[in-house]
């Protein structure tokens, strides 16, 4: 039996709108019992319901921060139970009076240039490249991904599983390398192996200091703290010259670019993005002199990169001329 005290922070973090869910998860952690009346709202039996509550409890324990609004709780439920029947997920949300997925407030920009939307697996802290770049993974069971998995990746994944079962670790590693070289990876999420596709993400509309610039490491740490362990909602607008998806990024209803701008850890990238709200968030951070705006004259990252390119070009020309 688990100790109910382990989950005290879950209930205390919630508002009235999600307190019933928090209470039932706490109860499940102690008794392994799901609410009696839930069966009136869903189609699956109690054995499956218990699996949902175990997954939700694990997700809540890993969530940083815990959901505190009905919208955040709805997002957590929807993402955690994305592999289960739609009728069950909708029934569970209705049971707790949480908003349905189609009821979520969407960004006004969604109808203005979005190529596609993705929902990621929990982000590994090591995959945060800098203050405006992240590598994410999307399960191949996602409806958008499943038809696109290359045959060689599916075959290598199957052969890897067989090698693991036989404890042939060298062969399993070789098959995993083939999977990785094809832009995929097998991830262990809550003791479940998931084949996932890799995407490199460039946060749209902001430019954070490079790692070797002042505040570069601070910006990277802030972004890492914000997204690690979370499933992200990503709206992709296009691809940059480095093959990264230029995207708006959200977690639990939080707009990541807004977070970085308000903390003074990124510039509004006005050359590529004209959104007034980003301009406003940068101006407000400047006025409060937070983050890099505490410096008297912070160097712009695009100027820093230009100077480095010119210095490298001069160095190459000098070497060629000698």
Cβ–Cβ < 8 Å for 69, 16: no
| C-alpha span between 258 and 227 (Å, rounded) | 13
Distances (CA, A) of 28 to 36, 57, 162, 198: 12, 8, 35, 35
d(CA 63, CA 10): 10
Which residue's structure tokens are 């993400």? 201
Interatomic CA distance for residues 322 and 318, integer angstroms: 6
**Catalytic status, residue 244:** yes
The answer to whether residues 145 and 138 touch, using CB atoms and an 8 Å cutoff, is yes
Backbone angles phi, psi at 177, to 5 degrees: -65, -40
User: What is the C-alpha separation between 136 and 211, in angstroms, rounded?
Assistant: 20
**Quick check: is 160 catalytic?**
no
Catalytic option among 72, 160, 197, 202: 202
Token output for 261: 């701008």
Asked whether the beta carbons of 276 and 228 are under 8 A apart, the reply is no
CB 277 within 8 A of CB 258: yes
Q: Residue 185, CB half-sphere, CA atoms under 13 Å: how many?
A: 11
Separation between Cα atoms, residue 46 and residue 56, nearest integer Å: 15
Active-site residue among 210, 222, 224, 282?
Answer: 210
- Angstrom CA distances, 192 to 16, 84, 186, 187, 199, stand at 33, 15, 10, 8, 21
Angle between the 16-31 and 70-80 helix axes, to the nearest 10 degrees? 40
**Which residue numbers are catalytic?**
202, 210, 244
């Amino acid at each position: 039996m688990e100790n109910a005290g382990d989950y005290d922070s879950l209930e205390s973090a919630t508002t009235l709108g999600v307190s019933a869910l928090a209470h039932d998860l706490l109860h499940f952690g102690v008794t392994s019992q799901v609410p009696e009346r839930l069966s009136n709202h869903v189609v699956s039996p109690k054995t499956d319901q218990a699996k949902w509550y175990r997954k939700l409890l694990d997700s809540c324990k890993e969530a940083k921060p815990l959901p505190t609004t009905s919208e955040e709780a709805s997002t957590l439920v929807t993402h955690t139970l994305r592999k289960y029947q739609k009728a069950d997920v909708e029934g569970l949300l209705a049971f707790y009076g949480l908003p349905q997925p189609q009821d979520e407030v969407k960004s006004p920009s969604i109808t203005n240039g979005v190529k596609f939307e993705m929902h990621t697996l929990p982000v590994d802290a090591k995959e945060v490249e800098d203050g405006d770049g992240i590598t994410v993974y999307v399960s191949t069971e996602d409806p958008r991904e499943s038809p696109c998995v290359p045959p060689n990746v599916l075959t290598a994944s199957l052969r890897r599983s067989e090698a693991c079962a036989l404890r042939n670790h060298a062969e399993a590693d070789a098959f995993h390398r083939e999977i990785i070289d094809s832009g995929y990876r097998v991830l262990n999420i809550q003791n479940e192996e998931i084949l996932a596709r890799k995407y490199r993400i460039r946060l749209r509309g902001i430019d954070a200091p490079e790692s070797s610039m002042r505040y570069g490491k601070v910006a990277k740490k802030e972004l890492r703290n914000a997204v690690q362990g979370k499933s992200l909602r990503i709206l992709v607008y296009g691809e940059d010259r480095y093959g990264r998806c230029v995207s708006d990024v959200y977690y639990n209803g939080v707009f990541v670019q807004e977070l970085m701008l308000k903390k003074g850890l990124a510039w509004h990238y006005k050359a590529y993005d004209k959104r007034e709200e980003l301009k406003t968030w940068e101006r407000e951070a400047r006025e409060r002199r937070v983050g890099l705006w505490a410096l008297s004259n912070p160097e712009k990252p695009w100027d820093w990169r230009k100077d480095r390119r010119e210095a490298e070009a001069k160095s190459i020309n000098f070497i060629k001329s000698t």
